[in-house]
Amino acid sequence: MSADAAPIPARPDAAAAPSRVDHPATALLLSFVGGYVDTCGFIALFGLFTAHVTGNFVLIGAAIAGQGGASVAAKLLALPVFVATVMVARFLQLGRERRGEETAVPMLLAQSVFLVAFMAAGVRLGPFERGDESLVLVVGMIGVVTMAIQNTAARSSFVRLSPSTVMTGNVTQVAMDLVDIAAGAPAASPARARVRKMWPPIAAFAAGTLGGGLGYAAVGFWALGLPCAALAILLWRLRS
């Protein structure tokens, strides 16, 4: 998988309370949701990544080589759907920012709506027997839209937090920082601060991946009710 790019700075929310938006609990919940939903979707939709969309290119190559049961069509469509969703979400964000309105809560509300739709569609139309079914494409794209919204929010509304959907960059940075700390490098002090900030979201993401796998194995798409609850808690915290 490709390493995370550094978050792109965006205009901070004008009205959102920094103590809530930037609280470590926000990073934990978002990272848990990111790992959970991507894993659940990967298992249910025959290897389709809903959050780490560039990872789908690796699986396209595997499918072309005759390995794996995932639909190439779903993986090819995932990227343009993801990009289109990010562009629409960002356009709507800019409108609110120009009016001096916060964007964190609306982004989470939108993600919650699509996550509920993802779960409902999966429960109603699944389980699926083959990766090339047209219904897999439909349900999969709802999942891609859901996680495209979280990716957009992570690089705008929650830009001061660690990335919450793909952990390659976080793990790389923590590993480098641990070496700096152990070696007494000049940058050891900021390295300690980064490790304290980044390891909890990594752990939460890992817990989410485990939960997503076990949850889908136990109750199918109903397992997505847990990340829905996590987003509801986060929304309650931000609106309190």
> Tens of pLDDT along 21-53?
888 899 999 999 999 999 999 999 988 999 988
Q: Which residues of 108-135 are buried (b: 16+ CB within 10 A; e: fewer)?
A: bebbbebbbebbebbbeebebeebebee
Structure confidence at residue 162 (pLDDT): 86
- Indicate the pTM of the whole model: 0.87
CA 156, distance to chain mean position in Å, is: 14
In this predicted structure, the answer to whether residue 191 has a pLDDT above a threshold of 60 is yes
In this predicted structure, the answer to whether residue 9 has a pLDDT above a threshold of 50 is no
> What's the mean pLDDT in 183-187?
89
Alpha-carbon gap, residue 125 to 83, rounded angstroms = 25
- pLDDT score at 19: 57
3-state DSSP assignment of residue 103 = coil
**Is the model's pLDDT at 11 over the cut of 90?**
no
How far is the C-alpha of 200 from the C-alpha of 26, rounded, in Å?
Answer: 11
Percent of the chain surpassing pLDDT 90: 65
Domain ranges of the chain: 18-239
Grade residue 57 by pLDDT with cuts at 50, 70 and 90. Answer: confident
What six digits make up the tokens of 223? 């397992």
Residues contacting residue 129 through CB under 8 Å, at least 6 positions apart: none
Question: 18-239 — its CATH code?
Answer: 1.20.1250
Residue among 76, 45, 35 nearest 212 (CA): 35
Residue type, 151: N
Count the alpha carbons within 13 Å of 61 in the hemisphere toward its beta carbon.
4
> pLDDT digit string (tens) for 208-240?
999 999 999 999 999 999 999 999 999 999 987
Tens digit of pLDDT for each residue in 127-176?
998 877 889 999 999 999 999 999 999 999 998 888 898 898 899 999 99
Euclidean distance between CA atoms 218 and 220, whole angstroms: 6
